[in-house]
C-alpha cells in the first residue's frame, strides 16, 4: 500500500487537556479560542503574508489521540445513540484509515510571540497539543453551499441545556473563560448515549476541572477544582 509522509507545521494550544468536553464540530462554541504555534521551520513571517485578509481558515490536523492499527468500514456515531452503524466515510469519526481532521475556525488575530508569529483563532474543536498539518483560507464562494443536505445529521447538534452554575463556583472561573465554558456546558459535553441523572461527570478546562450532573434538560455544576 502506498504511503505518504506528512509533516507537522504547527501545534494548537487550547483549554482542553483531554478529549472530554470538546465540541463535536468547529464553530459550535464561537467563544472557544486557540493559539496556533508554528514549528521552527515554518515560522517565517512570509509564510503568513496575506492571511490577514481572510476571516476564516481551514485547519487540517491529526487525531493524535485516536491513532490505532487497522480500520473498520463502519462506525457508531454518537449522534445516533452510539448503537447504529454507518459507513466511516459517511461520518466525521476520528477512527478512520488516516486519522485526519478538518476544522473551520475564525481568524481573530496574528500576534508576535517568543515563538514567532502565532495565529489566534476561535470556534475551535481541538485538544491542546493537536498537531496541525496544514492551513488553508476559507473561501465563501466555493466552500459555502447553503443548499447542501445533511443526511442522518439533519438538524445538527441540538441538545441545548439550561445551566445551573452556582455563583460561588462561577467565581472560581477566570472572567475571560466564562463565556466559552458556558457554551461548552450548554452544548452538553456528555457522550450522547449517557442519560444517567445521578452520574457526576468531569472534564479539564484550562487549569480547572469542572464537575457537573444533568437531570432532564438542566446541567448543574457541582464543583470547580483549581
Q: Which of 52, 93, 53 is nearest to 74 (CA)?
A: 93
pLDDT over threshold 70, residue 66:
no
CB-based contacts of 57, cutoff 8 Å, min separation 6: 51, 104, 105, 106, 107, 119, 121, 135, 136, 137, 138
65-74, 128-137, 163-172, 195-204: least confident range: 65-74
The cell for 38 is: 508554528
Q: What is the pLDDT of residue 176?
A: 95
pLDDT higher than threshold 60 for residue 158: no
Give the mean pLDDT of 39-60.
97
Cα gap 4→154, rounded to integer Å: 35
More confident residue, 198 or 118: 118
* 206-223 residue pLDDT tens: 999 999 999 988 999 999
Query: What pLDDT score does 192 carry?
Result: 73
pLDDT tens digits, one per residue of 108-139? 999 999 999 999 999 999 999 999 999 999 99
Contact call for residues 58 and 125 (beta carbons, < 8 A) = no
What is residue 107's predicted lDDT score, i.e. its pLDDT? Answer: 98
Q: List the domains of the chain with CATH numbers.
A: 10-143 (2.40.30.70), 162-225 (3.30.2310.20)
Amino acid at each position: 500500500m502506498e504511503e505518504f509522509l506528512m509533516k507537522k507545521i504547527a501545534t494548537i494550544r487550547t483549554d482542553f487537556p483531554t478529549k472530554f468536553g470538546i465540541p463535536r464540530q468547529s464553530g459550535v462554541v464561537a467563544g472557544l479560542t486557540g493559539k496556533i504555534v508554528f514549528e521552527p521551520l515554518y515560522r517565517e513571517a512570509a509564510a503568513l503574508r496575506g492571511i490577514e485578509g481572510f476571516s476564516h481558515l481551514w485547519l487540517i490536523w491529526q487525531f493524535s489521540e485516536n491513532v490505532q492499527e487497522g480500520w473498520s468500514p463502519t462506525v457508531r456515531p454518537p449522534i445516533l445513540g452510539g448503537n447504529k452503524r454507518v459507513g466511516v466515510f459517511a461520518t466525521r469519526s476520528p477512527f478512520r484509515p488516516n486519522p485526519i481532521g478538518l476544522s473551520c475556525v475564525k481568524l481573530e488575530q496574528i500576534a508576535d510571540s517568543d515563538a514567532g508569529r502565532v495565529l489566534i483563532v476561535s470556534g475551535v474543536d481541538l485538544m491542546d497539543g493537536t498537531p496541525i498539518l496544514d492551513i488553508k483560507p476559507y473561501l465563501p464562494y466555493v466552500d459555502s453551499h447553503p443548499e447542501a443536505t445533511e443526511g442522518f445529521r439533519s438538524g445538527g447538534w441540538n441538545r441545548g441545556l439550561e445551566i445551573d452554575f452556582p455563583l460561588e463556583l462561577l467565581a472560581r472561573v477566570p472572567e475571560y473563560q466564562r463565556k466559552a465554558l458556558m457554551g461548552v456546558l450548554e452544548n452538553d459535553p456528555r457522550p450522547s448515549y449517557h442519560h444517567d441523572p445521578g452520574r457526576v461527570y468531569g472534564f479539564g478546562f484550562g487549569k480547572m476541572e469542572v464537575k457537573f450532573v444533568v437531570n432532564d434538560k438542566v446541567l448543574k455544576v457541582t464543583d470547580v477544582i483549581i
